[in-house]
Chains A and B, each alone.
Chain A
């Protein structure tokens, strides 16, 4: 089991902008459908295996209203923690 964060966005366009910014900084992410437990308008989320989110928040400081949710990867599934 691996710990990380799910990033959920206000819109699909914000999700794509974030993908570009993260790729530029060589941050690895997985594109996943937003889990039903997370309330957001956009059905596309990113999962990043990372312990602390500060660096990611700095990279994405220009993207507003990102929801950061602690998550865990169990086998093939990524689920919000708690």
Chain B
């Protein structure tokens, strides 16, 4: 196996790009070292979306992540694809995405905007027509980190199979990386793919 790829101190999405390059060249096994949880979460997501199995070694906040291709291992592949099927997706789940680009619904007074957003999420959660994804970006990441009502609603939606993707760069910018209460950290690659592949994107 080659020497581990050194991605220490590299900002999002560089570690992701370095790992993706190896995957695209069909490297059977490789390791990458990162020093932050955002990068670690991104790489975990990358492994889940590809046929690689991860092992993670944590030494004083330096994470050595080893990717091992499971392509030739039919059994492991089957198990992997079964893992991908969870959580269970309700029948009503349609291919639409809710994009939350700020911590309020609409422009204007913040107090009103936050309450409108709380009610909007409550209404979506009470309906059958659930989105497939909810993307939180810019100050929209606050609804997954700071507001108790929106966090609880997002957790309920997540249990019903809705993917909650929270922008890692934005969490980092607002110093909220350690306060994420729901969803998973996504980078611009994940988010762009979701937005461009959804049948409908609703932006609030």
Is there a chain A Cβ closer than 8 Å to B119's Cβ?
yes
* Chain B proximity of A8: nearest CB distance (Å): 13
Query: Could you tell me how many residues of chain B have their Cβ less than 8 Å away from some Cβ of chain A?
Result: 12
Query: Could you tell me how many residues of chain A have their Cβ less than 8 Å away from some Cβ of chain B?
Result: 12
Q: Mark A44-82, 1 if CB is under 8 A from B, else 0.
A: 100000000000000000000000000000001100000
Instruction: Please tell me if the beta carbons of B115 and A76 are within 8 angstroms of each other in the complex.
Output: no
Chain A stretch 1-34: residues in CB contact (< 8 A) with chain B: 12, 15-16, 19, 28, 30-33
Instruction: Please tell me if the beta carbons of B122 and A44 are within 8 angstroms of each other in the complex.
Output: no
* Chain A proximity of B178: nearest CB distance (Å): 24
Most A CB contacts (10 A, CB to CB) among B112, B115, B148 go to B115
Instruction: Please tell me if the beta carbons of B112 and A77 are within 8 angstroms of each other in the complex.
Output: no
Give every chain A residue within 8 A of B148 (Cβ-Cβ): 28
Q: Mark B156-180, 1 if CB is under 8 A from A, else 0.
A: 1000000000000000000000000
Give every chain B residue within 8 A of A30 (Cβ-Cβ): 118, 122, 149
Instruction: Please tell me if the beta carbons of A76 and B156 are within 8 angstroms of each other in the complex.
Output: yes
* Chain A proximity of B114: nearest CB distance (Å): 9
Most B CB contacts (10 A, CB to CB) among A31, A33, A44, A77 go to A31
Which residues in B have some Cβ–Cβ distance to A below 8 Å? Answer: 111-112, 115, 118-119, 122-123, 125-126, 148-149, 156
5 residue pairs bridging A and B, Cβ less than 8 Å apart: A30-B118, A30-B122, A31-B118, A31-B149, A76-B122
